[in-house]
Amino acid sequence: MAIVGAGDYIGAEIAKKFASEGFHVHLGRRGGDKLQPLIDEINAAGGSASGRSLDAREPEDVTAFLAEAEARAPLELAIFNVGANVHFPILETTDRVFQKVWQMACFAGFVTGREAARIMLPRKRGKIFFTGATAGLRGGAGYAAFASAKFGIRAVAQSMARELWPSNIHVAHLIIDAGVDTKWVRQIIEQRQRSDALGNLKPDELMPPSAVAEAYWALFQQSPAAWTFEQEIRPYGETW
C-alpha cells in the first residue's frame, strides 16, 4: 500500500496499523528524512516499510512513487492524506496561498487517484481512499482556501467512485469531523481560547490519530456487497 502525505500523526498511525496487518507500506511526504524514525519503528516491530520525500503537486513524482510501491507489492490501497489546513481572513488570503492550498489538497489528490487507478484498473482490484474534513461539507470563516480545496477533492473522489466502482475499485472519502490530537491542533486551541483550555477539554474531544487508522482499516475490510463511499467520523464528545 502507499500513503501520500504520511505525516507524523494520522499518516503514521495508518502506516503502523496496515503494517501490523501484513502490508508493506510505502510512505511519501515533504521532508522525507522525517520518515526514518517511523520506518525504523515499523521494521523493528516486524513490519515492512519504506519511504522517501515526495512532492505530491508534481505528477511525475507521484507516478514514480506509486510505481515504487507497486514494485514492492501489488498496490492494494492508495491513501491520499495531504492536509494543507490554513486559516486566513479573506483579505489576507493571497493568490499564492489559495493556489498552493488547492495544489496540495485538491490537485495532488486528483493526480494520486488517477495514477493509482492506472495501476489498479488492469487487474480490476484495489482501493483508493481520500482523507477529507468538515471543510469539504461547509466553508467556515477564514477557511476559503482550505474549504475550496476540500470541496474539490470530495468532488474528485465522488466522480472517481461512480466511474471506478463498476471495475471493482473501491474509492472512498473519509470526513474527519473533529480536531485530531496533534501538537499543531493543541497549539491552536491554546492560542484561540486560553492558556488552560487544554486542561478543560471534554473526554475524547480530540480524536486520537490511531482511531482514524482503525476507521481506515474497517473501511478497507468492507465487502464489495456493501461498500461505503463517504463516512463521517467524530468523537462522541464532538458537537455536530
Residue 132 to residue 149: CA distance in whole angstroms: 10
- Coil vs helix vs strand at 39: helix
For residue 229, which amino acid is it?
A: F
Q: Is 33 exposed, middle or buried (0-12, 13-18, 19+ CB in 10 A)?
A: exposed
Q: Residue 31 carries which DSSP code?
A: S
In this prediction the pTM is 0.90
- Coil vs helix vs strand at 140: coil
pLDDT in the model for residue 178: 75
pLDDT in the model for residue 35: 97
Residue 15 to residue 9: CA distance in whole angstroms: 10
Q: Hey, where are the domains in the chain?
A: 2-233
Number of C-beta neighbours around residue 240 at 10 A: 7
Q: Does domain 2-233 have CATH number 3.40.630.150?
A: no
Mean pLDDT by 10 residues, the chain (240 residues): 95 97 97 96 98 98 98 97 92 97 97 98 98 94 97 98 98 87 57 55 73 96 98 86
